Structure 1
Amino acid sequence: MAGSRSTVRNTLARLLLLSGLALHSLTAGALDTSLPAAIDLRAESEQAGRQNGPLIILFSRRDCKYCETVRRDYLLPLTTSAGYRNRVVVRQINQDSDAVLINFRGETTTHARFANSEKIKLVPVVAFYGRNGKQLAEPIIGTRLPDFYQGYLDDAIEKSASALRGR
């Protein structure tokens, strides 16, 4: 009897451990909503230009729950969508970060200083850039109405693509 209790306890312990590991993997994957951080805006805008699309930048902050919503629900899907993944380059600039950044003129700055130079006060802001830092469409400020946000994003991308084609 003592042997069977020990076997049951060991089996239960293994099942709990496995279910805990499975839950951890699921939640870890679900929580990864990061976008690539901007590193070299000049090179990243050139890459977007070669794809005939804009460099899309999410100006964000670490503590911004609205930024998380925009990142997770709208911008991350662009990076995997067949209609957009080869047309746009999506990056993030953190308004509260001292991470090094090369600006559109090839000068070294930080995420925070660049956001300040772009007059970013409130976040989230989604901005659309062409080569040399030219803004191609009006930035999307805030989260606006969730039911229409994808439409705002699609319109800004199309306006950006038209500006790049010279229309």
Structure 2
Amino acid sequence: MLAMLANAVNAAASAAAPAAKANAGTSAATPPASLPPVPLALDLQRDGIAAARTGMPLVLFFSLPDCRYCHTVRHSYLAPMQHSPYVVREIEVGGSLAVTGLDGAATTHAALARRFGVQFAPTVLFLGPAGAELAPPLKGGDTAGMYGAYLDARLATARHAISATLRPERKAP
């Protein structure tokens, strides 16, 4: 799904600017200039509830300032997801910004990174309503042009984990 969105954005950019054809054939997308960046995490409890209502994972993007790989992941893959049912939030690994955690307790971006064991940026986590990881973390940037496929696979795994918990148990006949 995300790869298709990225390809659609690439196609629009290619039509508007012939120079954008250099990106054709990759799953990386160049979002329109009007697309805002990924929102910073401020209230993960609220965000977790919003994600649960849609039956989607909460997507947390851990980044560092001046990280070129973080910039690519943010703008080419996660910013376009703002027009999807996913709730995506950015957390600065060493940041002191105050945030409400999934449990409602006050914390900081840096403390959340430690809590989730994030030591590398970019790292993307896929969480369920209670904060459990639903898919393996996606670590690193798009160095081989496969990031969109890796992201799509993690999102599918997380959605499957959520749908499995929502299915009623079947009793043997």
1:154 aligns with 2:152: yes
Equivalent position of 1:97 in the other structure: 95
Structure 1 unmatched runs, 5+: 1-28
Report runs of 4+ in structure 1 exceeding 3 Å deviation: 29-33
The question of whether the paired residues in 1 share the 8 Å contact of 2:35 and 2:79 is answered with no
Match of 1:140 among 138, 141, 149: 138
How far apart are residue 120 of structure 1 and its match? 1.0
User: Which of the pair is proportionally richer in helix?
Assistant: 1
User: Match for 1:53: what amino acid?
Assistant: M
CA distance in 2: counterparts of 1:97 and 1:32, whole angstroms:
24
1:75 aligns with 2:74: no
CA distance in 1: counterparts of 2:69 and 2:153, whole angstroms:
21
User: Match for 1:79: what amino acid?
Assistant: Q
1:35 aligns with 2:38: yes
Equivalent position of 1:11 in the other structure: none
**Identity rate of aligned residues, in percent?**
34
How far apart are residue 75 of structure 1 and its match? 0.6
Aligned-CA RMSD value: 1.8
The question of whether the paired residues in 2 share the 8 Å contact of 1:33 and 1:71 is answered with no
CA distance in 1: counterparts of 2:34 and 2:61, whole angstroms:
18
Count of aligned positions: 134
Could you say which structure has the larger radius of gyration?
A: 1
User: Match for 2:59: what amino acid?
Assistant: I
After TM superposition, the score normalised by the length of structure 2 is 0.72
